[in-house]
Amino acid sequence: MIETYLRQSALDHLGLAGHSTAAPTEAGVQLSEKPLPVAVNLRGDSGDAAFVEAVREALGLALPTLPNTATTGEGLALLWLGPDEWLAMQHDAAAFAEAQLATKLRKALDGLHAAVTEMGESLCCLSLAGAQARAVLAKGCPLDLHPRAFGGSGHCAQSLLAKAAVTLLQVSDAPAFELYVRRSFADYLWRWLEDAAREYGVAVVRP
């Protein structure tokens, strides 16, 4: 029987815990991996009141219908990805929480034309914070992340960062961002971020 402690995050091979610091540092940028996120992709018709209500019921969160925004509740964030697509995100959850969350949604949406797909295993979550976080992202991401343009905390977007597709969620106006990237690209993107942040000073911190 395999124990859940044998799960490996996308960046497990880098041994980040071994060279990270605890507290925020003076460095312009703080980087970390938030390992093993829970994520469920949700498809459905936001024009269908039954769908919207069923999601609210199941998650206790309103479905964000404004483009590039996320709604957040206790330990759960719901990201707008497109006109009929959302991503429910959760951190620090148990090994099989993803299946449970998906099951809950499937049950709630039974009978509606909707799709629920587990995605967390395919994602790596990187956290990027600090005074120069925006400057680092700008080196590879064509989005305008200025507060006037992006909207600050609670805003999200799918775009490109360097040569990887990412979903970006601003989690603090400090600023701090979460980057969701497909697992196989995580090693590349981590190394890219460390390199891009070099001129500002970069600290690997514990998530």
Partner 1 sequence: MAGRMRLPQGGFVAHDELLTFTFNGKTYKGLAGDTLASALLANGIHMVGRSFKYHRPRGIVSAGGEEPNALMQVGDDPRSEPNLKATQVELVDGLKAKSQNAWPSLEFDVGALNGLASRFLPAGFYYKTFMWPASAWMTYEHFIRRAAGLGVSPRQRDPDRYDKTFAHCDVLVVGGGPAGLAAALSAGRAGARVILAEQDHLLGGALLNTQGEVIDGQPARDWIAAAEAELAALPEVRVLKRTICYAAFDHNFFGLVESVTDHLPRPPENLPRKRLWKLRTKQVVYCAGAIERPLVFADNDRPGVMTASAVQSYVNRYALRPGRRAVVFTNNDSGYGAALDMKAAGIEVAAVVDARQVPAGPLTERATALGLRILGGFAIVAVEGARRVKRVRVAELSLDGKTVTGVPEAIDCDLVASSGGWNPTVHLFCQAKGKLRWDDEHACFLPDAAMQTGQQSAGAANGRFGLGSCLREGTEAGAAAAAACGFAPSDTAASQAEDRDFLPGRWIWLVPGEHPLGHKAKHFVDQQNDVTAADLKLALREGYRSIEHVKRYTTTGMATDQGKMGNVNAIGIVADEVGGHLPEVGVTTFRPPYTPVTFGVFAGRDVDNLLDPVRRTPMHAWHERNGALFEDVGQWRRAWYYPQHGEDMHAAVNREVKAVRDSLGILDATTLGKIDIQGPDAAEFLNRVYTNAWLKLGIGRCRYGLMLKEDGMVMDDGVTTRLGEKHYLMTTTTGNAAAVLGHLEDYLQTEWPDLQVYLTSVTEQFATMTLSGPSARRLLADVSDADLSPEALPHMAYTAAKVAGVPARIFRISFTGELSYEINVPASFGMAVWQTLTTAGERYGITPYGTEAMHVLRAEKGYIIVGQETDGSVTPHDLGMDWAVSKTKDFVGRRSLSREDMARPDRKQLVGLLTKDPKEVLPEGAQLVEKVLPQPPMPMLGHVTSSYHSPNCGRSIAMALVKGGLARKGETLFAPLGDGRTIACVVADTCVFFDPEGERLK
Partner 2 sequence: MLLIACPHCGPRAESEFHCGGEAHIERPKDPASLSDAEWAEFVFLRDNIKGLVFERWNHAHGCRRWFNAARDSVTYEILAIYPMGSPPPALDPRRYV
Give the interface with partner 2 as residue ranges (CB under 8 A).
Answer: 67-68, 81-83, 85, 142-143, 157-160, 165
Interacting residues with partner 1 between 51 and 90 (CB under 8 A): none
Nearest CA among 163, 198, 189 for reference residue 14: 189
Q: How does 102-137 read in b/e, with b if 16+ C-beta sit within 10 Å?
A: bebbeebbeeeebebeebbeebbbbbbbbebbbbbb
Q: What are phi and psi of 195, to 5 degrees?
A: -70, -45
**Of 22 and 111, which CB lies nearer to partner 1 in the complex structure?**
111
Q: Is 152 left (phi over 0), alpha (psi -120 to 50) or beta?
A: left
Part of the chain binding partner 1 (CB under 8 A), chosen from 53-61, 67-75, 133-141, 171-179: 133-141
Residue 67 site contact among partner 1, partner 2, none (CB < 5 to 8 Å, cut-off depends on kind): partner 2
Q: Judging by beta carbons within 10 Å of its beta carbon (0-12, 13-18, 19+), is residue 101 exposed, middle or buried?
A: buried
**Of 27 and 157, which CB lies nearer to partner 2 in the complex structure?**
157
Q: Is 187 in the site for partner 1 (CB under 8 A)?
A: yes
Q: Is 189 in the site for partner 1 (CB under 8 A)?
A: yes
Query: Distance between CA 105 and CA 178 in Å, rounded?
Result: 24
> Residues 144, 152, 172, 206: which binds partner 1 (CB under 8 A)?
144
Minimum CB–partner distance for residue 153 and partner 1 (Å): 19
Q: Is 48 in the site for partner 1 (CB under 8 A)?
A: no
**Of 74 and 148, which CB lies nearer to partner 1 in the complex structure?**
148
Q: Is 206 in the site for partner 1 (CB under 8 A)?
A: no
Contacts 24+ apart (CB under 8 A), 162-167: 162/188, 162/189, 162/192, 162/196, 163/188, 164/188, 164/189, 164/192, 166/141, 167/79, 167/81, 167/87
> Residues 113, 152, 172, 206: which binds partner 1 (CB under 8 A)?
113
Q: Is 163 in the site for partner 1 (CB under 8 A)?
A: yes
Minimum CB–partner distance for residue 73 and partner 1 (Å): 24
**Of 185 and 203, which CB lies nearer to partner 2 in the complex structure?**
185
